[in-house]
Amino acid sequence: MIKTAFKTIGLIIRQDSISHQSEIQTICKSLSRHADLLIHYLDDQIITKEYTQVSLQQMGQQADLAVSVGGDGTILKAARHLVDFGIPLFGINLGRLGFLADVTMAELDKHLDDIFKGDYSVEKRFLLEGAIQMQDSETIHHIALNDIILHSHQSISMIEFEVFSNNQLINKQRADGLIVSTPTGSTAYSLSGGGPIMHPGVDTIALVPICPHTLSNRPIVLPANQQIEIRLSQTDMVGQISFDGATQAIIKYGDSVQVKRYPKEITLLHPANYDYFQILRAKLKWSNQP
């Protein structure tokens, strides 16, 4: 159940925020009229010291609502850090229209008033958890809201790997890599790689090969409760795993990458009139006349 009485708000501000100083000051003033305000900057450029500065962990422990200011990348980082605390996340966009950060500065006051009246839509998004099992028995864990991606550690080199679903072999392939995408990530790198757009309400993941050597190798959509395993097939090959394009880890032959649905979900708040298909039309220019 989402609280409608948000008494403490955590504001997460994007990197390079100094170039949007006036907008951020406006957002701070608007939010502070409704509730106590905590701030976390994603870099060291502190615009205002008027409000309490906290870590993302402190924000998760103290805030009733988190507000992301920037773009979709800011929301991705906020979601990874706050998902375990169960607080909802709301995105304000400072650039182009985002798939996740869908409120612009022009609409800010209206939508903030609506939120504090309890007039908003609620959406759950699931994340992926990746466990990299090293040969030396060390295991590395990271999570991602968009995607977990395997690619070559070298800049231009195909890699050969095997993909399993619930211990059943899907295929062995040569490609530049593989994208394991959530519905949220289906409009990100997966889309550029020819993957399907998956509605956020479906409980699925997509496996999208990156420039596969075999042209019949197509993206495949699986139930989100399937556990995916990826193994390199060549003894001299080195790969790299990335999580939302942020955290990265090196894997070698003999290592195993296990990908599964993360047990907790992030709650996104949207304006009451939120329309996913309208965002698709605007971002992908579906309705433009040739």
Residues in CB range of 161: below 8 A, 6 or more apart: 150, 172, 173, 175, 178, 230, 231, 232, 233, 239
The active-site residue, picked from 44, 72, 176, 244, is: 72
Structure tokens at 148: 């977990």
Helix 108-116 vs helix 21-32: crossing angle, to nearest 10: 30
72 annotated active-site = yes
Closest CA to 162 of 153, 173, 152: 173
- Sole residue written with tokens 């650039």: 95
Catalytic residues: 72
